Amino acid sequence: MGWWSKEAVITECFETDLHSHLLPGLDDGAKTAEETLSILRTMRDMGFKKWITTPHIFNDYYRNDAEGIKNALAALKTFLASKGESFDISAAAEYYLDEHLIQLLQDDKEILAIAGRFLLFETNLFSISPFVNNMIFEAGKRSLIPIMAHPERYDYIVSNKELLFSLREKGVLFQVNLLSFVDYYAVSAKKIARWMVDNDLVDSVGTDLHNPRQLLALQEIMSDRYVRKLIDRPLLNLNL
């Protein structure tokens, strides 16, 4: 690995962000279209070029569906155009792994997968969902590849990181939050994120950006040596 400028780290490796909460008002992410615009501008200055934003679909808290998300994306694009701005932004979703997701898969309902293929899912922090094997099976029937969002942040992975190997064997890919490499979440998240880099378990990265506050921390990732180790890896971010 040679010398890379801060900008090059983003431009060459992560210019497509695969995880964020930038559709205003849909979840715990951006609150207004103005806030989204300001976040997008800052990220563009950092080198990001493309966004596949991923609102939560979590039946207990954020009752979003494919149609609502597509409508919110269209409204955001209209707003951006009214400000004379245009960003390469599309939408998928971050699905909470629960019975609702299984139902959507079984009922052949529309799934907002990243690039139409990758099903981004999250679980609670404390235990792997009892629905995980069912989800992998049902996703497979629909030719979807599951990507687990931020495994490094789950307590049950911190206490049993070998679980990642068995999930990998079942066909699950992993997406690490870029902010896990700096001191933003728990120390354990940073430790597991680094361990995942060393064990070739990072298939993609995402900012998981929710608000402008996180942008400052995001600036720091560019000089992190573990983030730089990812430069030579064939991350999904490069191909979508």
**Contacting positions for Fe ion (CB under 5 A):** 94, 208
CB of 28 to Fe ion, least distance (A): 9
Query: Which of 17, 15, 54 minimizes the C-alpha distance to 231?
Result: 15
Query: Which of 27, 28, 39, 38 minimizes the C-alpha distance to 63?
Result: 27
CB of 209 to Fe ion, least distance (A): 9
How far is residue 68's CA from residue 70's CA, in Å, rounded to a whole number?
A: 5
CB of 153 to Fe ion, least distance (A): 10
CB of 64 to Fe ion, least distance (A): 13
Is the Cβ of residue 17 or residue 208 nearer to Fe ion in the bound state? 208
Is the Cβ of residue 98 or residue 208 nearer to Fe ion in the bound state? 208
Task: Using the CB atoms, write b or e for 141-173: b if 16+ within 10 Å.
Answer: eeebbbbbbbbbbbeebbeebeebeebbeeebb
Contact 87, 51 (CB under 8 A): yes
Residue 172's contacts (CB-CB under 8 Å, 6 or more residues apart) are 136, 146, 147, 148
Q: Which residue is nearest to Fe ion (CB)?
A: 208
State whether residue 83 is helix, strand or coil: coil
CB of 37 to Fe ion, least distance (A): 20
Contact 39, 209 (CB under 8 A): yes
Is the Cβ of residue 151 or residue 228 nearer to Fe ion in the bound state? 151
The H or E element containing residue 61 is none
Q: What are phi and psi of 26, to 5 degrees?
A: -90, -25
CB of 89 to Fe ion, least distance (A): 16
Is the Cβ of residue 231 or residue 240 nearer to Fe ion in the bound state? 240
CB of 5 to Fe ion, least distance (A): 28
Is the Cβ of residue 21 or residue 161 nearer to Fe ion in the bound state? 21
Beta bridge partners of 56: 94
Q: Tell me the CA distances in angstroms from 71 to 92, 113, 172, 207, one per residue in order.
A: 12, 16, 30, 23
Is the Cβ of residue 47 or residue 55 nearer to Fe ion in the bound state? 55
Is the Cβ of residue 17 or residue 94 nearer to Fe ion in the bound state? 94
